Amino acid sequence: MTTLPDTLTAALADVAVDTVPPGIEAGLVVEPHTAEDLARIVRAAADHGVAVTPVGSGSTLRGADAAIAVVTGGLAGVIDYQPDDLTIVVGVGTTLGALDDVLDERGLSAILPETSPDRTVGGVVATSSSGYRRLGYGPTRDRILEVTMVTGYGEIVRAGGRLVKNVTGYDLSRLVTGSLGSLGIIASVCFKLWPVTQQRRTVTVDDAGAALVETFRPVAVLETEAGSTVYLQGDPTTMDEQVRHLRGDAVEGFTWPDVPASPVRIVMNVPPRSLTAAISEVRAAGVGRFVAQHGVGVIELGVDAFDESLVDALRSWAETHGGSLIASAPGLTSAQRWGAPPDTIEIQRRMKHLFDPAGICNPGVLPGGL
* Per-domain boundaries in the chain: 6-73, 74-195, 200-252, 258-329+338-356
Cβ burial, residue 224 (10 Å; 0-12/13-18/19+): middle
- Asked if 86 and 164 touch (Cβ cutoff 8 Å), the reply is no
**How far apart (Å, rounded) are the C-alpha atoms in residues 303 and 102?**
35
Q: What is the pTM of this model?
A: 0.91
**How far apart (Å, rounded) are the C-alpha atoms in residues 236 and 88?**
30
b/e code 246-273 from CB counts within 10 Å (16+ = b): bebebeeebebbebbebebbbebbbeee
Q: What is the pLDDT of residue 21?
A: 75
**How far apart (Å, rounded) are the C-alpha atoms in residues 340 and 316?**
11
Third-level CATH fold of 6-73: 3.30.43
**How far apart (Å, rounded) are the C-alpha atoms in residues 32 and 38?**
5
CA 196 to chain centre: 21
Same fold, 200-252 and 258-329+338-356: yes
Residues in the chain: 370
Q: What is the pLDDT of residue 170?
A: 54
Q: What is the CATH number of domain 258-329+338-356?
A: 3.30.70.790
Q: How many CA atoms lie less than 13 Å away from 269 in the CB half-sphere?
A: 8
CA 218 to chain centre: 22
Third-level CATH fold of 74-195: 3.30.465
**How far apart (Å, rounded) are the C-alpha atoms in residues 360 and 176?**
16
Which DSSP symbol is given to 71? Answer: E
Report CA Rg, the chain: 21
Question: pLDDT truncated to tens, each residue of the chain (370 aa)?
Answer: 568 889 999 999 999 998 877 777 888 999 999 999 999 999 999 999 999 999 987 666 666 778 999 999 999 999 999 999 999 999 999 999 999 999 999 999 999 999 999 999 999 999 999 999 999 999 999 999 999 999 999 999 998 777 655 544 457 888 899 999 999 999 999 999 999 988 999 999 999 999 999 999 999 999 999 999 999 999 999 999 999 999 989 999 999 998 887 888 999 999 999 999 999 999 999 998 999 999 999 999 999 999 999 999 999 999 999 999 999 888 889 999 999 998 889 999 999 999 999 999 999 988 888 8
Q: What is the pLDDT of residue 62?
A: 63
- Asked if 204 and 248 touch (Cβ cutoff 8 Å), the reply is yes
Tell me the β-bridge partners of 186: 149
Third-level CATH fold of 200-252: Alpha-Beta Plaits (3.30.70)
b/e code 288-324 from CB counts within 10 Å (16+ = b): ebbbbbbbbbbbbbbbeebbeebbeebbebbeebebe
- Terminal alpha carbon distance of the chain: 21
**How far apart (Å, rounded) are the C-alpha atoms in residues 112 and 102?**
14
